[in-house]
């Protein structure tokens, strides 16, 4: 079996997809009478041109790393978890409950406890679809997407009726105790003696996300559980033959997945807003699907894809701020990137593969 080199598979293909998406985006921008070049420079400048831009890009990327990893773990068990949105929302509730009701003296203690709370709530939210899938065969795509709505409604109820401080008109929880506020990266930079990313929301959670990438890599490719998850994902009859319990793996993989999605909440809820607000997830759960697809379900790829989508989020915001390009168009651009890197992946991959094979054959012929 001949294949194209790995670098072409992993780097060249998404890159070409990205260029294609950008090309079509440029045409769309041209069509509404704006300059694509100006749009691109605005986005790059706004997202990557200053430590301020980077601060936001990395903040968004942190969210996407968690939801991307969540999709990835489920994917390796052949489960399509599109409930990241709801699981992240419930993770937020977990964080809020922990921080509001447990007396935690310092952020360094609050962080692991809040992570546990976030992961537990996210995992619990994924557990129900998982057990329904494993025991009853209810399709996980259907149930997780329904659970997104249930999560949103539940959060709505809890915020309005339970967590809203009396007298407040805002459907949001009270502020978390000051002591539990996570240090922003800008504070850490200041501590090290230089100025970086002032007034940006990126915080220590970014470092947690990097650690999570590594740990998930270890989990999937170095542990027995990861081996079992991957084997189950490739062939369920094979897994059964090998003594791997499908119910157990389905539930565990989904709970890890839900836990990861839930952990996103320590970034946006604990790290940024420092209280629980309605609709805190802002679609990051869905972006995670695109991130995992584009990152080829590998933590390193997910890290890079999350950075790209962080750039698109931040750059898109800048575009809306500084140009007359409407906000909706930014969603179009993001959608095109998702379309090309995710859904139309094979459109680029297959011709590329053919090209590499012919190149190989002609070079072999030349040697003869």
Site of interaction with another protein (CB under 8 A): 1-2, 218, 222-224, 227-228, 230-231, 234-235, 237-238, 240-245, 357, 360-361
Q: Measured from the CB of residue 172, what is the shortest distance to another protein in angstroms?
A: 41
Q: Distance between CA atoms of 56 and 61, rounded to whole angstroms?
A: 8
- List CB contacts of 358: < 8 A, sequence separation 6 or more: none
* DSSP secondary structure, 99-131, as one string: HHHS---SHHHHHHHHHHHHHHHHHHHHHHHHH
Residue closer to another protein, measured from CB, 198 or 248? 248
Least distance (Å) from another protein to the CB of residue 158?
37
Tell me whether residue 155 or residue 231 sits nearer to another protein (CB atom). 231
Output the smallest distance, CB 295 to another protein, in A.
18
Q: Which residues contact 266 (CB under 8 A, 6 or more apart)?
A: 91, 95, 111, 114, 115, 118, 182, 205, 208
Under a CB-based contact definition with an 8 Å cutoff, are residues 217 and 69 in contact?
Answer: no
DSSP structure string for 138-169: --HHHHHHHHHHHHHHHHHHIIIIIISPTT--
Q: What are phi and psi of 244, to 5 degrees?
A: -100, 125
Cα 333 from Cα 304, distance rounded (Å): 18
Minimum distance from residue 6 beta carbon to another protein (Å)? 12
CB of 224 to another protein, least distance (A): 5
Output 103 or 243, the one with its CB closest to another protein: 243
Bridge partners (DSSP) listed for residue 172: 277
Nearer to another protein, 58 or 239 (CB): 239
- State which residue, 1 or 169, has the beta carbon closest to another protein: 1
Nearer to another protein, 103 or 365 (CB): 365
Q: What is the smallest separation between the CB atom of 211 and another protein, expressed in angstroms?
A: 16
């Amino acid at each position: 079996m001949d294949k194209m080199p790995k670098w072409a598979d992993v780097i060249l293909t998404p890159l070409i997809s990205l260029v294609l998406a950008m090309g079509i985006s440029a045409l769309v921008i041209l069509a509404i009478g704006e300059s694509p070049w100006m749009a691109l420079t605005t986005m790059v400048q706004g997202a990557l041109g200053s430590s301020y831009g980077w601060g936001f890009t990395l903040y968004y990327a942190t969210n996407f790393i968690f939801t991307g990893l969540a999709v990835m773990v489920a994917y390796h068990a052949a489960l399509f978890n599109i409930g990241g949105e709801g699981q992240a929302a419930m993770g937020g509730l977990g964080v809020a409950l922990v921080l509001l009701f447990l007396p935690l003296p310092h952020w360094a203690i609050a962080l692991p406890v809040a992570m546990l709370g976030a992961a537990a709530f996210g995992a619990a939210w994924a557990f129900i679809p998982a057990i329904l899938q494993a025991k009853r065969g209810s399709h996980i795509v259907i149930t997780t997407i329904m659970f997104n709505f249930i999560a949103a409604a539940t959060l709505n109820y809890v915020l309005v009726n339970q967590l809203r401080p009396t007298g407040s008109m805002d459907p949001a929880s009270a502020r978390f105790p000051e002591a539990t506020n996570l240090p922003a990266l800008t504070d850490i930079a200041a501590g090290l003696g230089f100025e970086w990313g002032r007034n940006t929301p990126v915080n220590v959670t970014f470092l947690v996300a990097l650690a999570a990438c590594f740990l998930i890599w270890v989990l999937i490719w170095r542990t027995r559980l990861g081996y079992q998850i991957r084997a189950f994902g490739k062939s369920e009859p094979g897994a059964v033959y090998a003594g791997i319990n499908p119910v157990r793996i389905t539930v565990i993989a989904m709970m890890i997945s839900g836990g990861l999605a839930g952990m996103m909440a320590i970034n946006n809820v604990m790290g940024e807003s420092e209280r629980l607000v309605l609709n805190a997830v802002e679609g990051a759960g869905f972006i995670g699907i695109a991130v995992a697809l584009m990152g080829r379900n590998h933590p390193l790829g997910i890290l890079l894809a999350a950075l790209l989508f962080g750039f698109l989020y931040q750059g898109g915001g800048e575009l809306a701020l500084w140009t007359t390009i409407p906000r909706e168009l930014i969603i179009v651009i993001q959608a095109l990137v998702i379309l090309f890197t995710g859904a139309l992946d094979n459109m680029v991959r297959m011709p590329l593969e053919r090209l590499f094979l012919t190149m190989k054959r002609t070079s072999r012929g030349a040697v003869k």
